[in-house]
Structure 1
Amino acid sequence: MQAVVLTAFSGRYGFHRDELYFVASGHRPDWGYVDNPPLTPWLARASTAVFGETPTGLRVAATLLGMATVVVAALLAREFGGGRGVQLFTAVVTALSSYVLVVSHMLATNSADLLLWCLIAWFGLRLLRTGDGRWWLAVGAAAGLGLVNKWLVLLLLSGLGVGVLAAGPRRVFRTWWLAAGIAVAVVLAAPVVLWQASHGWPMLTVAGGISEDDGGENRLLFVPMQLVLLSPVLVPVWVAGLVRPWRDPAVRWARALAIAYPVVCLELLVVGGKPYYAVPLLLPLVALGAEPVLRWLRRGRATRRVLTGAAAAVCLVVSVLIGLPVVPAPALNGALLAMNKEPGEQVGWPEFAGNVAGAWARIPATERDTAVILAANYGQAGAIEHYGPERGLPRPYSPHMSYADWGPPPDRLVGPVLLVGRFVPGSPAERVLTGCRAAGVHHNADGVDNDEEGVRFSLCTLTEPWSTAWPLLREYY
């Protein structure tokens, strides 16, 4: 059912700006990119190669990752001794939670990250429960793949490590299988780490910029967002998961998980990380808390069950509205975009490329062979790259993120520069591009207030060769 629903809605609206970037990255396979390791772009390349370079074709990968996450969540519930009813409950609430719906609908680094965090937790918990050191190999393999997708997995590993040191069973560290697991992770992650090292650790530069620009807001919203990102109705369930290992002797071995979550949250608060970074660790806690919550519901009066069901129904409706494109695009403005801006970033990209084509047509035909389209961000560049050829547009360039590595334009292109968007006031771009005059403005037909609504196009003059101008234009944030 999950696959059917996700597939039914996967083609509505259109590509997200990040998806356009992943598609472009997948066409340039490498061991790394400025702002993320290569796993998600590789998945984008594989999914579009098999199912077509459309939103539906790309999102097959996200759907499969979401389905696998639900299965692993049910397996986690079984690991804690839950029967079929508990496993089914865990699977259903996982599939219908807001965060899982969002990352299962559109392909993002979080789509794979969610599954990999759950796998590491499952393998690690089997290691703690059984004491069989061979599970270190599975933990190492999942951790290595996690590092090939997103380095946030290091927070999970550190949190679980602190948990085991604090609450045990510490005997799992006294085995040569630990070294073997570390070796597996190192082998898998080594090409990605070496790529980052050889390129000056750009991901750390990007992470530092995120912390500097958004760290204060992230810290302020961190705790409230923990309560709503998965679903408010699931807060009592994962809180029960935090408490259960300290009350139930049968799952005492899982105390490390209950410690890991606050440790990871504290780490994110210190570095100013985004609130959703900690959400994948809530799913194992939901699996851990499912059994006592269901027992509490069964023992309660009918009124308790009715009220709980009503609250769950309301949260389900909200989750679907937030996570899936179920409403017409014009209806997104207002509360829905305030709760989740990502659907808005999936609207209007074909029109955007069409408006760029209209601005491009203002360049005299005799000058277009040496003209350049310069986009201010990777979403704009990705849209022009994907939709532009059928509209007669040449390859776009952008100094943003990995698009900067795929430039600069050849020095022979000395004609007009069609600037899409704006660079930061006072940046070197104002010296490199001069004499800018208006060439158009983008408005999407649905009137959705997204990041590209109202973006202006300008025709500018390049003052120095691209080879010397390009380093001055580079943008990491």
Structure 2
Amino acid sequence: MERPLAWRSVTSIAVLLFVILLALSPGYGYHRDELYFRVLSEHPAWGYVDQPPLTPMLARAGIALFGDTVTGIRVFPALSVAILVVLMALIARELDGSRAAQVLAAAGTATGAYTLIAGHSMLTLSFDLPLWAAAILFMLKALLRERPRWWLAAGAVIGLATYNKHLIALLVLGLAAGLLLAGPRRLLASPWLWGGALLAAAIAVPNLLYQVAGDWPQLKMAAALSANKGAEMRLLFVPMQLTLFGPVVSVIAAFGFVRLWRDRRVRALAIAYPVAAALTLISGGRFDYAAGLILLLFAAGCVSAASAGRVRVAAWALAAGAAGSAVIALPLLPVSALAESPVPAINEVARESVGWPQFVAAVEGVRNALPAEERARAVVVTGSYGEHGALAQAGVPRVYSGHNQLWEYGPPPETGTTAILVNIGPGGRDLFGACEERARIDNGAGVGNEEQGLPVYVCRGLDRPWAATWPLWRHFS
């Protein structure tokens, strides 16, 4: 028999989180990924070389419904993590958690650093977390309640999740390994389980067809990311597992692992986390790839804390951790104080959300200094999608980039014989007869992000047509 849901407390936490995130949404400015999604949203497709279509299309919907503003694009992420909070309470209840355990799971999830980052900015993570949580909830219903039809619901969510990120495969592989190693192996013969797998595959078919037609672009993207930052991600993996949602969440999650391990019905999901972690380490993937399973372990740990009468201790510890998470994850510090704090070093999202107006002003200043006739035919080429997105959002015309999906939207017109280059290395500049530095980017806050200190060049005399050189500009990162 299912325990009652602490719906009033859980709903209050979710609504409060949503309101706080929207109130703080204008802080600092767009993150570079949001600027990229804004560009992709103007090119609807079944997929892009670096990601499936769900997040860009939600960016499009947010802009259409709530306005082309930084707050408008952040409504859906804030709503998404509010839903995540409710799902985590439901997971705690499914694990036989009392009302206190459910509230603890909801509050700890809501105040975790990564939850706040995911809710503050539009990232693929913003929607991946609740999709994983929903799939895990339905798996638990199938495993614990002897209701095999829930495998169909889990399959439907897994299929949908492939339109956001393909990382849901880690959850599937982790569960499969867990069932093989710890059982109950009889489930591997369940028609409902295989029906859920087939439903997931059927829903994912258009996404899969895009990958096949494009010669598996996301595999190429994953290989590029691993080659570029794989070693760094492996070094960061263990410490970041302890700090993604805060160290208190990690401690409680450790007890949750023990709880799941002791219950043979759900031991497979306990095994799923180390399997997903190992696959991430081997592939050189980002340290947050298994974040959804950390939250499962945390919810299970909240049930253990409530059963042991440790709710008050856990609640105070989570409250103390919440203060640090808020400062790190949310735009609480003024921009002028950001550079002197540890926040930019810890939170890449905050670091890459500062200085876009100054960046645009510097590039526009160089462009406006050109003679009128030359300015009319000049093009701007950037090295990253964030830079391209910032200029596009500001209405700067004839902007191009070879970064990830943006390469597909080139080459520049052959009339663009004058090029303003930003974040382009010597290889790109050497394609021109002459290049002259005209400005340097200064974000005005001293924050050491990717754009700070970049030179802005004016180049003339492209030695070959743009169509001939454009393949040389393509890069993945």
Measured against the shorter chain, the TM-score band is over 0.9
Matches of 2:52 and 2:344, distance apart in 1: 29
Equivalent pairs counted in the alignment come to 460
Relative to structure 1, the CA distance from residue 467 to residue 298 in structure 2 (aligned partners, 3 Å threshold; closer, same or farther) is closer
Give the partner amino acid of 1:82: G
Q: Which letter maps to 1:191?
A: P
The 2-side partners of 1:310 and 1:88 are apart by: 13
TM-superposed CA distance for 1:147, in Å, is: 1.0
- Residue equivalent to 1:437: 436
1:137-196 CA deviation, whole Å, 9 max, x = no partner? Answer: 111111111111111111111001111222222222223233332232222211122112
Matching residue's letter, 1:220 = L
In structure 2, how many angstroms separate the alpha carbons of the residues matched to 1:330 and 1:449?
A: 13
Offset, 1:469: 1.0
1:280 lines up with 2:287 in the alignment: no
**Amino acid in structure 2 at the alignment position of 1:419:** L
Match of 2:421 among 419, 422, 432: 419
- Residue deviations 1:406-452, cap 9 Å, x none? 111122x24210111223x4x4x244234110121111222322211
SS in 2 for 1:55: coil
Does the 8 A contact of 2:378 with 2:398 survive in 1?
no
Alpha-carbon shift at residue 311 of structure 1 (Å): 4.2
In structure 1, what is the equivalent of residue 337 of structure 2? 331
Match status 1:401 vs 2:401 = no
Question: 1: distance between equivalents of 2:380 and 2:455?
Answer: 13
CA distance in 2, matches of 1:92, 1:310: 11
1:309 Cα deviation after fit:
5.9
What TM-score do you get using the length of structure 1 for normalisation?
Answer: 0.93
Distance 1:374 1:128 in 2: 53
Structure 1 counterpart of 2:471, one-letter code? P
**Residue in 1 that maps onto 2:361:** 354
> After superposition, what is the alpha-carbon deviation per residue over 1:281-329, rounded to whole angstroms, capped at 9, x for unaligned?
1111111111222344549xxxxx66x6664343211100111101101
Corresponding residue for residue 374 of structure 1: 381
CA distance in 2, matches of 1:115, 1:313: 23
Tell me how far apart the structure 2 counterparts of residues 474 and 269 of structure 1 sit (CA, whole Å).
27
Structure 1 unmatched ranges of 5 or more: 300-304
Counterpart Cα distance in 2 of 1:272 and 1:394? 38
Contact 1:145 1:185 in 2 (8 A): yes
Cα distance in 1 between the residues matched to 2:46 and 2:288: 26
What residue in structure 2 maps to residue 316 of structure 1? 322
Q: Share of identical aligned residues, percent?
A: 43
Distance 1:471 1:443, change over 3 A: same
Partners of 1:23 and 1:239 lie apart in 2 by 39
- The letter of the residue matching 2:362 is N
Match of 1:460 in 2: 459
Q: Which amino acid aligns with 2:241?
A: Q
1:368, 1:344 → 2: CA distance? Answer: 32
| Alignment correspondent of 1:24 | 39
Cα displacement string for residues 192-224 of structure 1 (whole angstroms, at most 9, x for unaligned residues): 221122222221111111111222222222111
Secondary structure of residue in 1 paired with 2:71: helix
State the partner residue of 1:204: 219
User: Residue 471 of structure 1 corresponds to which residue in structure 2?
Assistant: 471
Letter in 1 for 2:335: A
Matched residue, 1:101: 116
Q: Cα RMSD between the aligned structures?
A: 1.6
The answer to whether the 8 Å contact 1:148/1:189 transfers is yes
- Residue 383 of structure 1 pairs with residue 390 of structure 2: yes
Distance 1:451 1:242 in 2: 38
Aligned: 1:240 with 2:252: no
Q: Distance in 1 between matches of 2:405 and 2:152?
A: 33
Contact 2:28–2:353 (CA<8 Å) still a contact in 1? Answer: yes
Corresponding residue for 1:302? none
What TM-score does the superposition give when structure 2 sets the normalisation length?
Answer: 0.93
Worse overlay, 330-339 or 40-49: 330-339
Structure 2 counterparts to residues 144-223 of structure 1, below 5 A: 144-223=159-238
Q: Are the counterparts in 1 of residues 108 and 318 from structure 2 also a CA contact under 8 Å?
A: no
Q: What letter matches 1:270 in structure 2?
A: I
Alpha-carbon shift at residue 236 of structure 1 (Å): 2.2
Instruction: Report how far residue 229 of structure 1 moved.
Output: 1.1
Relative to structure 1, is the Cα distance of residues 215 and 365 closer, same or farther in structure 2, using a 3 angstrom cutoff? same
Which residue of the partner structure matches residue 40 of structure 1?
A: 55
Q: Which amino acid aligns with 1:406?
A: Y
| Secondary structure, counterpart of 1:444 in structure 2 | coil
Residues 245-284 of structure 1: per-residue CA shift (max 9 Å, x gap): 344xxx4311111111011111111111111111111111
Structure 2 gaps, min length 5: 1-15
Residue matched to 1:363: 370
